[in-house]
Chains A and B, each alone.
Chain A
Amino acid sequence: MKGSGLKIYAIAYLLFLYAPILLLPIFAFNDGTIIAFPLQGFTTKWFGELWTNKALHDAVGNSLFIAMMTAIFATLLGVCAARAGAMASFPGKKGITGFIMLPLVLPEIIVAVSLLIVLRQVLDMQLSNWTIIMAHVLICTPFSIAILNGAFQNIDPALEEAALDLGETRWSAFRLVILPLVVPGIISSMLISFTISLDEFIIAFFLTGSNPTMPVYIWGLLRFPASLPVVMALGTLLVTLSIVLLATAEYFRRRGLARAGIKDSGGFL
């Protein structure tokens, strides 16, 4: 009897977490414009509408571009920071690391508002995909560092010294020895940054120019009840994509650990 209470709690908890998401695919295939039970029958027309919606395609295109650039830049910065954190020692290292990780806990709305002020009022820049990319790099870099820290700290510093000792320069030692060992971490970091950027709404909403990103476009659709099922269809695709990306990222993270011969100690999944 002792375990059954906990079991009920666990099931209720999982339902609370995932039941709303389960509604997405149900109504995405429901043949009716009103999001309510009973269901009206099976249809794939909402997915069909996704194919023909030009504005949506533009928004998805924007988001993919932003997510890709964010993944690249955040990971690049993450590699530099994680490598410095793992292999170099310099004054104020702890403080600096703390500051870099801070955006992880800053409220996004605050970041969004202050970035808008800086970009528009101080720098007088035009809002574009690039302003969103800059902001997304800011919030994704801490995630990237968190993942890559693990990858770099698991590497024996003697490996780099061995490469130097065998005639390589600092750069070629990094390229030939360190980089191959952290590749799984890099892939994992890029996938997670990509996922975070792809569905980020608040910052994108504030900083978007004339071309909305996909989450901003979806938010716009909500004003028209008739288009809700399309949003459901789109949501179904996004959830699937997110799960696939995160699972892939986790696969690479674990493979990296296995390659370095280290026991797993946490991670995002």
Chain B
Amino acid sequence: MTALISLRGVQKYYGTYHALRGIDLDIKAGEFFSLLGPSGCGKTTLLRTIAGFEGLSDGTLKIDGKDMSGVPANLRPTNMVFQSYAIFPHLSVAENVAFGLRKSSMSKKEKSAAVKEALDMVGLGGFGGRASHALSGGQRQRVALARALILKPKVLLLDEPLSALDKKMREQMQVELIRLQRQVGITFILVTHDQEEALVMSDRIAVMFEGEIGQMDDPETLYRAPNSRRVAEFIGKMNFLTGVVTTDGGTVSVDVAGLGRAELPASQVPQGTVPGKVSIGIRPETLAILFDGETTQRRVVDATVSEVVYYGDMTYYDVRIAGVESALTISMKNLIGRPVLDVGAKTKVIWDERSLVLLPA
């Protein structure tokens, strides 16, 4: 399958500031793709180069096989949902949605039918006559979506579209965006700094740092097998320990500070691993507290609780183990009958070699 959007060696300079440092990227038709990264990583710049608002300093950008150099934003088969929504304040909801149809050859009747369909699609049926400044944040978001989708673009670009909404509204819109994307089958490219949002919504995610793509994978791979410490830190919560890798024939084992030696299954050894110092990542949910009266076949280590954060459904414990300077975070579901430990409690931590993520030191 050929890529709908294809970037090769894309560079972008603002004066001396190097905003994009060699981006290679292929996005398939119908894919929900996310550009994820901290602020200033270049994700929005990348989106704006695809939209045509920023030129490339070097490299090529092809959309649907056509080179986009010199093609202005208004002639590209992309439409954008802006972070501020950019709803035209002097136009009604219906006029906003119909804006892109101004130059189409549709009759008046067809246009108003298209507007109605677009508004129905985003759940704003009957809102056409409203003044746009009388809308709530979530409604403005939907108008922006309808306005962009009415042109049936090949690619819909979304620039942090949910960042201005409150938590409940944001979660609701995430689900709706996924539903909408499946319904229309258009390629969505989402820019976000919210890793949870990216994990929930995307088919694939590119994690960006300082103008480069650090890792590009599906959400599960990204979460389970980050390729570097900065990706591991950015996606979800991660504990870091130090370790030393040794190889003996086909088997790779690692001596983890504070936990002990573990033999790693082949699937968990990244390609190119060589003996020596490494960083070991462990997700909080892959560790567990051994509560009184429980037993386990897995390995345990003595620990002292140093911090307890109660979330209702979960409790996050920070525990200290001998030989490790920083605390380890462990998340535990608050199952029936399970107590919440106090700070200072002596306990045991269950761990498993399958939860160790080998990262470059």
Interface positions of A (Cβ within 8 A of B): 156, 158-159, 161-169, 176-177, 180-181, 259-261
Inter-chain contact A177/B88, CB cutoff 8 Å: yes
Which of chain A's residues have a CB closer than 8 A to the CB of B147? 162, 166
Contact of B90 among A158, A169, A181 (CB under 8 A): A181
State whether the Cβ of B51 lies closer than 8 Å to any Cβ in chain A. yes
Q: How long is the Cα–Cα vector from A169 to B151 in the complex, in angstroms? A: 16
Inter-chain contact A158/B151, CB cutoff 8 Å: no
| Contact flags B46-66 to A (C-beta < 8 A → 1, else 0) | 000001010000000000000
Known: A165-B74, A169-B74. A159 touches B86 (CB 8 A): yes
Closest to B72 in A: A164
Which of chain A's residues have a CB closer than 8 A to the CB of B102? 167-168, 176
Contact of A165 among B80, B90, B133 (CB under 8 A): B80
Q: How long is the Cα–Cα vector from A165 to B78 in the complex, in angstroms? A: 8
Inter-chain contact A261/B133, CB cutoff 8 Å: yes
Q: How long is the Cα–Cα vector from A207 to B83 in the complex, in angstroms? A: 53
Inter-chain contact A158/B86, CB cutoff 8 Å: yes
Inter-chain contact A164/B74, CB cutoff 8 Å: yes
Q: How long is the Cα–Cα vector from A169 to B73 in the complex, in angstroms? A: 9
Distance from A181 Cβ to chain B, minimum over Cβ atoms (Å): 6
Distance from B160 Cβ to chain A, minimum over Cβ atoms (Å): 12
Inter-chain contact B53/A161, CB cutoff 8 Å: yes
| Contact flags B76-108 to A (C-beta < 8 A → 1, else 0) | 001110111010111000000001101100000
Known: A167-B103, A180-B90, A259-B89. A162 touches B151 (CB 8 A): no
Contact of A156 among B51, B74, B86, B100 (CB under 8 A): B86
Which DSSP category, helix, strand, loop or mixed, fits chain A's interface? helix
Q: How long is the Cα–Cα vector from A166 to B150 in the complex, in angstroms? A: 10
Closest to B159 in A: A158
| Contact flags B138-169 to A (C-beta < 8 A → 1, else 0) | 00000000011001000000000000000000
Inter-chain contact B88/A161, CB cutoff 8 Å: no
Q: How long is the Cα–Cα vector from A167 to B53 in the complex, in angstroms? A: 13
Inter-chain contact B90/A166, CB cutoff 8 Å: no
Known: A166-B99, A166-B151, A167-B151. A161 touches B89 (CB 8 A): no
The 10 closest A-B pairs by CB, nearest first: A166-B100, A162-B86, A158-B86, A158-B82, A164-B73, A180-B90, A165-B80, A167-B74, A159-B86, A158-B84
Q: How long is the Cα–Cα vector from A163 to B84 in the complex, in angstroms? A: 14
Q: B234-293: which residues lie under 8 A (CB-CB) from chain A?
A: none
A-B contact pairs, 22 of them (CB 8 A): A158-B83, A159-B86, A162-B88, A163-B88, A164-B53, A164-B74, A165-B74, A165-B79, A165-B80, A165-B148, A166-B148, A167-B75, A167-B100, A167-B151, A168-B74, A168-B103, A169-B74, A176-B102, A181-B90, A259-B89, A261-B89, A261-B133
Which of chain A's residues have a CB closer than 8 A to the CB of B72? 164
Which of chain A's residues have a CB closer than 8 A to the CB of B89? 181, 259-261
Closest to B98 in A: A166
Which of chain B's residues have a CB closer than 8 A to the CB of A169? 74
Known: A161-B73, A165-B80, A166-B148. 10 other contacts (CB 8 A): A158-B82, A158-B84, A159-B86, A161-B80, A164-B74, A165-B51, A168-B102, A168-B103, A177-B88, A180-B90
Which of chain B's residues have a CB closer than 8 A to the CB of A176? 99, 102
Which of chain B's residues have a CB closer than 8 A to the CB of A259? 89-90
